[in-house]
Structure 1
């Protein structure tokens, strides 16, 4: 357990931020309020520098605990070389209850002292932020923005589908047999043209064909136009005209939101892929089966490129939610899937990566099949495959090597005859 002479905690807010510094005994030796401005950050750092106890003292050797891992304040502290240790809000709340279970009072200044004391007593349990490169940090911002855009588009998709069921049910089933369904450009183009059953029934074959062309479709235009026209002209239950017109306006607005969110997600994906190819580690990621530009960018963004972040492959797999943990109490003992103490985004990306590798690599498929044959369910077998892939990735990143399928255990040969 590493010890320092001083420990700092910052309780951040939109306006003033409270800084507290404690020594090894827990005594508060400095306190200061500052704003998130260049001058305010320099004032806070000057408070720490003024506590010089010897010529060997360095402000950068004072770790700072804060309830955030991103933001301008965290960025400014790291740019000045300060060690920043993020502490989760729930963790701080439990430390507060441990000190005084019956007292629910909270103050900003007291919270800063509490954060500093968390580092003083349990600094070995809390990791400082990794020292990633600027390129890796930019990738992290892009991939997380892309994920938010994807979730937004999925929200608008479900919203549009629910609206169409009440005003234009034929549109729900018109593209249900095709990939993308209502995400397809032709679906959005035709729904925007005729968002209700009444307006869709009035569409001519030529209008539908022109809409398909505007959406980018180039094959079987006449046949598709005839299919949609016959589907839209089938009798269905309709709302009163004024109500149908009002609901149609809502559908058009949702289509615009869906199109904008989909375009934003694609824009972020393209930007992340372009930035990913500029990173020196991108050939290593792309050498793995089932890893494309976006998957590789997401993995690199969440893992970072700090060479000292994960000392072992087990630590990396635990961070990605691929390692189990054991719960034991008395005679009870359970081995469970790691859900909470893991990076949820990385766990989701890793699961998608493992599933994709099944059709891209015979050795991955063989490992999955062996785990299924021993009794593992689909998710458990994928989790074991993901842990193996992450272990190989850890080795390749540590040694600067690309993935070698021959290093994996080979599938057993089938019995003769």
Structure 2
């Protein structure tokens, strides 16, 4: 057999081909363009690469145009973790020397010696890959929105406590369009005392609000005119300008998160697995899309539910040596799927009687809140694996039969 290793870089890539004895057959440096990709395909074809029997490739990334070119057809592409590749490098020498052609040679030998120990990139459909782009971008935009909101809140604490008190009763606080419109109207405490009721009502209408305007305008007028400590006028004006700059970034983050959420809502229901995912309690369109893209729709990716649970980080890891035995949470995992799992478990506690009973039993057993949530996510993930394999919708009476009897 022939094995290929590619050391990826921004402008060029180093390629190495070895046989099943570890002998270096060819090495080449190619550019990161269409001509370079064609040179790579021609090099693979010269050494026996065919459509029915393609040469497997190891590379340290799972994204990019090079990976997209390699994944055409039935070729297996292995995304090797750079930390794992660094450990393999020490097998070929103790001098700790490093070079790009040498790293390509190491990657090729990883496949030669330990290919069954590594998982190839899943053969997901194009629709699943498109949903993955949108769902991950929406998740990143949501995190970025929260980060900008936290920065704005920290700034307001320095000079504008009335704004924080005014927006405290609202869910999502500074991320709401009403809060952003009011901060534009009154960026400093001195300006906050000037708006009339009519101006406050107009700000609410610009934000798209149509109910409860009169009461909120009256409450905000009282809050803004209350007595607070103030910064010096020049400092307060400067902080107001800084706040408006941060407010512009927050508005862009909110708009991006909303636009991407709409895009996910348009594309995700087209996937065949969407109905199964949204049948689970606590999984809506946005969260279901995040779970789908991290699991994928390649049914052969996980041999059983245990592999999926380990990948998500919900299954515990055991470390045993002699008389020492430790069971703890898994640190190496898919962080995006693990984050979605906590949200899923938290939402399912109220949406499902069986899930809520399971969570309460774990708490009575002595688990902390996060431990009980992780245990519930672990159980729901196993049920999801079964439903996707069998093509069945979630049935709570089959998922939690004994717990439902106890709850009744």
Aligned length: 407
- The two structures have a TM-score, normalised by structure 1, of 0.93
Give yes or no for the alignment of 1:243 onto 2:239.
no
CA deviation map 1:100-148 (0-9, x unaligned): 34x3332111110011111111112111000000000011111111111
Deviation, structure 1 residue 58 = 6.0
User: In the alignment, is the contact (CA less than 8 A) between 2:165 and 2:223 conserved in 1?
Assistant: no
Give matches, 1:213-228, under 5 Å.
213-228=205-220
Aligned residue number for residue 27 of structure 1: 23
Deviation, structure 1 residue 9 = 0.4
CA deviation map 1:314-345 (0-9, x unaligned): 111111111111111222111111121x1111
User: In the alignment, is the contact (CA less than 8 A) between 1:321 and 1:339 conserved in 2?
Assistant: yes
Give yes or no for the alignment of 1:120 onto 2:116.
no
Aligned residue number for residue 48 of structure 1: 44
In the aligned structure 2, how far is the partner of 1:139 from the partner of 1:64? 26
Aligned residue number for residue 396 of structure 1: 387
Deviation, structure 1 residue 195 = 1.0
User: In the alignment, is the contact (CA less than 8 A) between 2:357 and 2:407 conserved in 1?
Assistant: no
In the aligned structure 2, how far is the partner of 1:19 from the partner of 1:140? 29
Q: In structure 1, list runs of 5 or more residues that go unmatched.
A: none
User: In the alignment, is the contact (CA less than 8 A) between 2:51 and 2:74 conserved in 1?
Assistant: no
In the aligned structure 1, how far is the partner of 2:406 from the partner of 2:132? 44
User: In the alignment, is the contact (CA less than 8 A) between 1:66 and 1:84 conserved in 2?
Assistant: yes
Deviation, structure 1 residue 360 = 0.9
User: In the alignment, is the contact (CA less than 8 A) between 1:67 and 1:89 conserved in 2?
Assistant: yes
Give yes or no for the alignment of 1:343 onto 2:334.
yes
In the aligned structure 1, how far is the partner of 2:198 from the partner of 2:90? 70
CA deviation map 1:199-251 (0-9, x unaligned): 11222222112111111222222221121112111222223333222221111
Give matches, 1:154-173, under 5 Å.
154-173=146-165
User: In the alignment, is the contact (CA less than 8 A) between 2:14 and 2:28 conserved in 1?
Assistant: yes
Give yes or no for the alignment of 1:271 onto 2:267.
no
SS in 2 for 1:359: helix
User: In the alignment, is the contact (CA less than 8 A) between 1:48 and 1:59 conserved in 2?
Assistant: no
Give yes or no for the alignment of 1:230 onto 2:222.
yes
**Which 10-residue stretch deviates more, 151-160 or 32-41?**
32-41
User: In the alignment, is the contact (CA less than 8 A) between 2:3 and 2:56 conserved in 1?
Assistant: yes
Aligned residue number for residue 6 of structure 2: 10
Give matches, 1:10-409, under 5 Å.
10-52=6-48, 60-79=53-72, 81-101=74-94, 103-340=95-332, 342-408=333-399, 409=401
CA deviation map 1:349-378 (0-9, x unaligned): 112111111111111112222222222222
**Which 10-residue stretch deviates more, 75-84 or 162-171?**
75-84
In the aligned structure 1, how far is the partner of 2:148 from the partner of 2:407? 53
In the aligned structure 2, how far is the partner of 1:300 from the partner of 1:51? 37
User: In the alignment, is the contact (CA less than 8 A) between 2:397 and 2:404 conserved in 1?
Assistant: no
